[in-house]
Amino acid sequence: MERFYLTTAIDYVNGHPHIGHAYEKILTDIIARHYKKRCDDVYFLTGTDEHGIKIQKTSASKGMTPKELCDENANAFKETWKELEIDYNKFIRTTDDYHEDTVQKIFKKLVDNGDIYKHSYEGLYCNGCECFLNQKDLTEDGLCPNHMTKPEVVSEENYFFRLTKYKEAIIKHIKEHPDFIIPQFRANEVLNQLENIEDISVSRSINNVSWGIPVLDDDEQVIYVWIDALSNYITALGYNPSGESDENFKKYWPADVQVIGKDILKFHSIYWLAILMALDLPLPKHLLAHGWITIDEAKMSKSLGNVIAPVDILKHFELENADALRYYMASSAPCGKDGNYSDIDFKEQVNAHLANSMGNLLNRTLSMLVKYFDGEVKPEFKTNSAILNTAKNTIDIVKDCFDKFEVSEAVNAINNLVDTTNKYVTDNAPWTLAKEEKMTECGQVLTTVLDIMCVIASLIEPYCPNIAKDMAKQLSFDLNTKYDNLTCDNIKCGKLISKEDIKPVFLRVDSELADKSQKKK
């Protein structure tokens, strides 16, 4: 694999980031970090969507200009991703000059090619979705199913994109590429939506929406969100519809995976594909449509008052870094399904997996190495135990999971290896072997476990980069090792560690040690 390009949806900046935004970014960051262990060139794009009627109305209600609101909230997203250690390569804002300029050129090219035309229209418009809805899209009560609000009737003369022109080509692509939409069961939803697809409005009258990118040669219209926002995936790479594109575009497009929420799958699997076809550009290889995060089994809602900011979770539990939250969010939902957050479950899961199972396994194994061998690994301790094959197989299982973007399923495989290794320690009882003075056998057991811990550190790093770094330091293991070069012969002979260098890699949440407020008493 020479290179890997992945993107997230760009977040709308009429408010601050919540845990749902964080879930998508954590998920994508974990995928990016995993593939950095498989190829040398990974490019990760995220950003913010900053035009449209909601920004216009929200900024007005706050006595701000739209750009002032965008600047403030875009910075809030950036700061949150920094706290969560989202290691992106580029953060695009749709108010960036280069993006606006390229979007205008894209629009003009589609007009010149006959893919965009002007048309008078009356339809049902949902401000929340920022799109026109058909009657069949609504609930029995006539509400938008996503926002549970009644769309307004809008009459305008707008520019329309000939979506119907590309209907059959999109259907053909989805059917011929069963792994294009992940999870695959969502492909049928898209195919059903395509049955009655119509041409779509891609501009708004400046009289109704003034905060947008102006249409070239028509100062009465602004470019509507779906041409504007969706184009970020290629404008960020330097795509130029009227000339030579930048090297980054030539190098990275098409995207290997675009990570989005299930609620915007229609726009990415239909609108985005049609736009790319109209521009005669390659299509992304995969769309990963993740589920929603509920709070205590209830959908997040401002009216319910259960919208959670991810940084508030870190503050509430006084966590020094985001590893525990990253781990929990990534393991909270099977691929494409909804997940749930609760304080109680968060504490239980991270304590059980990160502190008790994984962290304690490393801590007690190193402690026994110091106790029985003064922290030294001797040449005769090397072993070819069958459990090492389990560790090697786990590497392949995890890689296979990530090939299908099954991030939660991959962490289950890692936890299974941790559990198997804990059982290996219990079954072989190195403390008993030491008591019986079977020191070579005791050393072999400990070294085998530490070799496997190197594998575990490497596999868990995309989820928990700080914990993995602390594990690797105590194991004298190079965490930059690529998965293809990862073996089960990682522990070198000689002095490995001293007693004072053994430290817990993760303190239990709310334990006496982890809870700073408790320590102050």
Backbone angles phi, psi at 290, to 5 degrees: -85, 165
In this predicted structure, the answer to whether residue 136 has a pLDDT above a threshold of 80 is no
Q: Is 299 a catalytic residue?
A: yes
Annotation says 401 is catalytic: no
Is 51:212 a contact under the CB 8 Å cutoff?
A: yes
Q: If we measure between CA atoms, which residue out of 216, 206, 205, 210 comes closest to residue 104?
A: 216
The catalytic position among 18, 37, 105, 353 is 18
Catalytic residue among 90, 119, 250, 299: 299
Rounded Cα distance, 512 and 273, in Å? 54
- Residue 388 C-alpha from the chain's centroid: 31
Q: What is the pLDDT of residues 353-411, one digit of tens each?
A: 999 999 999 999 999 999 999 999 999 998 778 899 999 999 999 999 999 999 999 99
Q: What pLDDT is stored for residue 372 in this prediction?
A: 98
Which of 25, 37, 54, 126 is catalytic? The answer is 126
What domains are there in the chain, each with its CATH number? 342-520 (1.10.730.10)
pLDDT in tens, 278-320: 999 999 999 999 999 999 888 887 767 788 999 999 999 999 9
- Span 416-427, pLDDT tens digits: 999 999 999 999
Please give the pLDDT value at position 299.
Answer: 84
Distance of CA 213 to the CA centre of its chain: 28
Closest CA to 389 of 409, 417, 362: 417
Asked if residue 149 has pLDDT above 80, the reply is yes
pTM greater than 0.85: yes
Three-state DSSP at 65 gives coil
Let me know: does 248 contact 290? Beta carbons within 8 Å: no
- In the residue annotation, 147 being an active-site residue is answered as yes
CA angle 429, 434, 440 (to 5 degrees): 95
Read off the pLDDT of residues 418-475 as tens digits, 9 standing for 90 and up: 999 999 999 999 999 999 999 999 999 999 999 999 999 999 999 999 999 999 999 9
With pLDDT > 70 as the criterion, what percentage of the chain qualifies?
A: 97
Please write down the long-range contacts of 478-487, taking CB distance under 8 Å and 24 or more positions apart. 481/37, 482/37, 482/38, 483/37, 483/38, 483/395, 483/399, 483/458, 484/38, 486/395, 486/455, 486/458, 487/392
Residue 78 annotated among the catalytic residues of the structure:
no
Catalytic residue status for 442: no
Reply yes or no on whether 144 is catalytic: yes
What is the Cβ-side half-sphere exposure of residue 342, based on CA atoms within 13 angstroms? 7
What is the rounded average pLDDT for all residues in the chain? 93
* Of 136, 302, 520, 521, catalytic: 302
pLDDT of residue 122: 75
Annotated catalytic residue within 70, 131, 144, 442: 144
Q: What is the mean pLDDT of residues 213-218?
A: 96
Alpha-helical regions (H) of 135-217: 167-176, 186-195
- Of 36, 70, 129, 464, catalytic: 129
